[in-house]
Chain A
Amino acid sequence: MTFFVLVVVSVVVGMLGSLLGVGGGILIVPILTLFLGVPVKNAVGTSLVCVVVTSSASQLVYVARGLTNSRLGMTLEVATTLGALVGGVTAILVSGRAIFGIFAAVLIYVLISMERKPREPLPAAPGSPLAGSFVDPDTGRRVTYGVDHLPGGLALSFVAGNVSGLLGVGGGAIKVPVMSLLMRVPLRPAIATSNLMIGVTAATGALLFFGRGLIEPRYAVPTALGIVIGAQLGPRLSSRVSTGVLRRIFEVLLAVLAVQMALKAFGI
Chain B
Amino acid sequence: MGERGQERHGGTPAEGPGARHGTGERRRANVDVVVHHTLAVGVAVGFVLLVAGLVLTVSGRGGLPMLSLKAPAAWHAALHLRAAGFYSLGLLALILTPFVRVIGSIVAFAAARDWRFVAVTSAVLAVMIVSIVIGAA
Q: Which residues of A contact B (CB under 8 A)?
A: 3, 18, 21, 48-49, 52-53, 55-57, 59-68, 70-71, 74-75, 77-78, 81-82, 84-85, 88-89, 129, 133, 135, 137-138, 142, 188, 191, 199-200, 202-213, 215-218, 220-222, 224-225, 228, 234-236, 238-239
Contact = CB atoms under 8 A, between A and B. Distances in A.
Given A81-B128, A211-B132, A49 B121 contact: no
Contacts of A205: 131
B120 interface: yes
Interface string B110-125: 0000001100110110
* Main secondary structure on B side of the interface with A: helix
A200 B121 CA distance: 11
Given A78-B120, A217-B65, A207 B95 contact: yes
Interface of B: 1-5, 7-13, 16, 18-19, 25, 28-29, 31-32, 35-36, 39-40, 42-43, 46-47, 50-51, 53-54, 64-68, 70, 84, 87-88, 90-92, 94-99, 101-102, 105, 116-117, 120-121, 123-124, 127-128, 130-132, 134-137
A15 to B, nearest CB: 12
A225 to B, nearest CB: 6
15 contacts: A52-B94, A56-B42, A56-B94, A56-B97, A64-B9, A64-B36, A74-B120, A137-B3, A138-B2, A199-B98, A199-B101, A200-B98, A213-B67, A218-B65, A221-B50
Contacts of B124: 74, 77-78, 81, 200
Contacts of B123: 78
B35 A59 contact: yes
A53 B9 CA distance: 19
B91 A142 contact: no
> Which one of B12, B64, B137 has the highest number of Cβ atoms from chain A below 10 Å of its Cβ?
B64
* Main secondary structure on A side of the interface with B: helix
Contacts of B70: 211
Contacts of B96: 203, 207
A235 B5 contact: yes
Given A61-B8, A71-B117, A52 B97 contact: yes
Contacts of B28: 66, 70
B1 to A, nearest CB: 5
B128 A216 contact: no
A135 B13 contact: yes
A188 B3 contact: yes
Contact of A208 (B32, B91, B134): B134
Given A222-B64, A225-B51, 4 more contacts: A18-B4, A63-B39, A81-B131, A133-B25
A21 B1 contact: yes
B18 A216 contact: no
Contacts of B65: 216-218
A221 B90 contact: yes
B51 A64 contact: no
B66 to A, nearest CB: 5
A99 B21 CA distance: 48
A228 B50 CA distance: 11
